[in-house]
A and B are shown apart, each in its own frame.
Chain A
Amino acid sequence: MTLQLNERIDKKAINVWRINALIEFFIELALLIFYGIGTLLWWSLPLWPAMVLLSLVIIRLLINCFIIPNIRMRIWSYTFLDDAILIQSGLIIIKRSRIPMARIQHIDTEHGPIMRIYDLATLTITTAGTVHKIPALKAATAFELAQSISAIAKVRDEDV
């Protein structure tokens, strides 16, 4: 049994990851098609590498769509406490971090175009020595947290 923390990654993140996987797939597919057409029309290159790569790309798409997002959902969890943030992650090696609020130097939120559609953001928490990440949570939550942190974390010189 593995301990889990209260909050999970937003379920909508699965869609984001799937869409990202699809976009990657189409880019790779386009390259392969270009190679295929070129080989058939102009170059005297063998076609089989493209076939091998195509099957690999398809396998990767399936893994990225149906296995990895579910695993990611399962392994990430986090909690915001009054005085600390807890983050747990890892499938094989489980890592449970505790970051005291008073130590946080800054919080970055980041969202790409697809994450924006689903109103999600990636949260990066930086202390003076370490960096921690939560891959996807509601943009509003992330923003709120960043706000509350900036109120708490007034870095005093003697503490560094």
Chain B
Amino acid sequence: MKMSKRYRQHPLMIFYEIIDTIKTFIFPFIIIFVLSAVGEGSLQGFSLWTPLAFTVLSAMVGILRWVFYTYSFETDSLTVRSGIFVKKERVLKKARVQSVNLEKGVLHRLFSLSSVHIETAGSVKEAEFSLAALHKDQAIKLKQFFETNSEVLSFDYSYHAAYSVLLVAALTSGSIGFILSALTFFFTQIVWYLPERITDTIYGWFFSTGVGLLVIGAALFILLAWLVSIVQYLVRFGQFTLQKKEDALTITRGLLKVKTLTFKAHRIQSIIFVEGLLRQPFKLLTIDVDIAGGVNYRDQSRTSLFPLLKRYKAHDYVQALLAKKLPEASLEPLDKKACKRYLFRAMGVYLIPLAFSFYNTVFLYALFALPLSLLLGFLKYKDAGVLDTEDSLVFRFRRIARSTVFIDKARVQSVDVTQAPFQKWKQFASLHVHILSSSGKATYTIKDVRLKKALDLSAYSVDNVK
């Protein structure tokens, strides 16, 4: 039997192993620590030595794991052996591998290393298989091993997002709302833990200052949240590059942690134009895709192909990249009578504070947000639309951002037409289209289409399945 050369990971793997072990056991240790601090004397001496002994022990285990963790290349497969006592051997067939992703953290970059995640068909959540620390050359060798003809480093298509583009994208990313609530939560939590003396001073100061100062404070707070969202965006999407080689698309992004994602273009299930609230006025949008199988970045359920584009260029970019013409005709809007239903739906939420207002009139203040909700409801109605062409289905809907989804009819898994009681009354229905995505399934919904229209659409979109 021919023995092929066995490789080992970079020793930094030991460090990651130790961190992993400590992560698993940190909570029990904290509990022991707290218990011994408040408890009887018997635990006290014990608790000081335990973490030290534990670290040494986990380091030893880590070293052993590193020693016994080897991989080797066969002609059409990769064999990985691991395990100290229980030996494991896994063979990854070249043909079954869907994607090979490289990730570089700050520590990785110091040692010019990379972590490698290999995904095979069928793995949805967890990467089938990961190597924590490989030397860069080895990682690239591994990647090339699974991608048959990628020795040539030329691409059919290449897109690099300029920093000016990314900066505009960061300014308009719209994650400020999320960060605002996170910061608010953080500060309100902190108040609980501060000593009473300090909180009293803060409250005193808060109520003694004028309204003007409070407004300035709030503005500063929002500005802070915005800055955080900008930095966060740039860290995630900095150095965004999209490259195409035959059927394989490669996306590289990240400022501190560089992430590389490779997937086959034919696994794209839908293309989504997302026009965020801050981007729409400037006619800017993001192009996302749903990809079948466990191919995605862990911090995104969908994958962004282009972080920011001008609206009128979007179709051209998709065609240049995927050689696919998206339908450009304008969408069919909803029946005018549906408007009322969208407005009622926007009001529905306010029944809760209204009910509570019998208990305390403070809840009535919630009604101040009603005009905003009604406006959003109206926009949702105005933006909703469908387009049914020979081989694709186009949905447009708004949650906060406006999304336009292009789905190949051949990619539709199944279609549901649902009718809630009030919809039955006026012969309206909601149309749900299920397709595959990296998290398993994605469902796109248009509410309040005419029942007849919905049934027509549902039939069409599946009759055309290959």
A96 and B421 contact, CB distance less than 8 A = no
Tell which of B293, B417, B421 has the most Cβ of chain A within 10 Å: B417
Interface centre among B411, B414, B420, B440 (most CB of A within 10 A): B414
CB distance B415 to A128 under 8 Å?
Answer: no
- Asked if A65 is at the interface (CB within 8 A of a chain B CB), the reply is no
Contact call B462/A100, Cβ cutoff below 8 A: yes
Bound together, the chains give a CA A92 to CA B421 distance in angstroms of 6
Q: What is the CB-to-nearest-CB distance from B223 to chain A, in angstroms, rounded to a whole number?
A: 43
Interface residues of B in 441-466 (CB under 8 A from A): 441-442, 455, 458-459, 462-463, 465-466
Contacts of A97 in B (CB 8 A): 414-417
Asked if A113 CB lies within 8 Å of chain B CBs, one says no
Q: How many residues of chain A are within 8 Å of chain B by beta carbon?
A: 24
- Asked if B259 is at the interface of the complex by the 8 Å CB criterion, the answer is no
Contact B420 A92 (CB under 8 A): yes
B239: Cβ under 8 A from any A Cβ: no
Q: B413 contacts the other chain (Cβ, under 8 Å)?
A: yes
Once A100-B465, A130-B434, A160-B292 are accepted as A-B contacts, the answer to whether A2 and B424 lie under 8 Å apart by CB is yes
Contacts of B267 in A (CB 8 A): 160
A52 vs chain B, min Cβ distance (A): 30
| Bound CA–CA A99/B433 (angstroms) | 11
Q: Per-residue 0/1 for A23-66: is the Cβ within 8 Å of any B Cβ (1 yes, 0 no)?
A: 00000000000000000000000000000000000000000000
Choice from B410, B413, B458 contacting A129 with Cβ under 8 Å: B413
Q: How far is the CA of A83 from the CA of B415 in the complex (A)?
A: 14
Q: Of A92, A93, A98, A158, which one neighbours B414 at CB under 8 angstroms? A: A98
Chain A, range 106-155, C-beta contacts under 8 Å to B: 127-130, 132
With A and B bound together, what is the CA distance between A128 and B411 in angstroms? Answer: 11
Q: Is the CB of B441 within 8 A of A130?
A: yes
CB-based contact A129/B436 at 8 Å: yes
Is B82 at the interface (CB under 8 A from chain A)?
no
Chain B residue with the shortest CB-CB distance to A92: B421
Which residues of the other chain, A, contact B410 by a CB distance below 8 angstroms? Answer: 159
Residues of B within 8 A of A127 (CB): 413-414, 434
> Chain B's nearest CB lies how many Å from the CB of A151?
16
Q: A103 to B185, alpha carbons, bound, how many Å?
A: 45
Asked if A98 and B424 make an inter-chain contact with CB atoms under 8 angstroms apart, the answer reads: no
A158 close to B459 (CB less than 8 A): no
B419 at interface (Cβ–Cβ under 8 A)? yes
CB of B426, distance to nearest CB on chain A (Å): 13
Most A Cβ at <10 Å: residue of B435, B459, B465: B465
Q: In the bound complex, how far is the Cα of B413 from the Cα of A159, in angstroms?
A: 10
B266 at interface, CB cutoff 8 A: yes
B462 contacts A84, CB within 8 Å?
yes
Cβ of A102 within 8 Å of any chain B Cβ, yes or no, is: yes
Return A124 CB to nearest CB of chain B, in Å.
13
Contacts of B458 in A (CB 8 A): 96, 98
B271 at interface by CB-CB < 8 Å: no
- Is there contact, CB below 8 Å, between A95 and B418? yes
| A90 to B440 alpha-carbon distance, docked (Å) | 25
**Is the C-beta of B116 less than 8 angstroms from some C-beta in chain A?**
no
A71, CB-defined interface residue at 8 Å: no
Given A129-B436, A160-B292: A99 touches B414 (CB 8 Å cut-off): yes
- Judge whether A68 is part of the interface by a CB distance below 8 angstroms: no
CB distance from B110 to the nearest CB of A (A): 40
Given the complex, which residues of B lie within 8 Å of A130, measured CB to CB?
A: 413-414, 434, 441
The answer to whether B413 touches A128, judged by C-beta atoms less than 8 angstroms apart, is: yes
Chain A residues whose C-beta falls within 8 Å of the C-beta of B435 in the assembled complex: 129
B266 touches A94 (CB 8 A): no
B386 at interface (Cβ–Cβ under 8 A)?
Answer: no
A103 and B421: CB pair below 8 A? no
Cα A130 to Cα B436 in complex, Å, equals 9
Shortest A128–chain B CB gap in Å is 5
**Chain B contacts of A2 at CB under 8 A?**
419, 424
Contact present for B434 and A95 (CB under 8 Å) = no
Asked whether B455 lies within 8 Å of A93 as measured between CB atoms, the reply is no
Q: 8 tightest CB-CB pairs across the interface, nearest first?
A: A129-B441, A100-B462, A129-B413, A96-B417, A94-B419, A100-B465, A160-B292, A99-B414
Identify 8 residue pairs between A and B in the complex whose beta-carbon atoms are under 8 Å apart, listed by A's number.
A3-B455, A90-B419, A93-B420, A98-B415, A98-B458, A102-B466, A103-B413, A129-B414
Residues of A within 8 A of B (CB): 2-3, 83-84, 90, 92-100, 102-103, 127-130, 132, 158-160
Given A94-B418, A94-B424, A128-B436, 20 other A-B residues pairs in contact with their CB atoms under 8 A? A83-B462, A84-B462, A95-B417, A98-B416, A99-B414, A100-B412, A100-B414, A100-B462, A103-B462, A127-B413, A127-B434, A129-B434, A129-B435, A129-B441, A130-B413, A130-B434, A130-B441, A158-B266, A160-B269, A160-B293
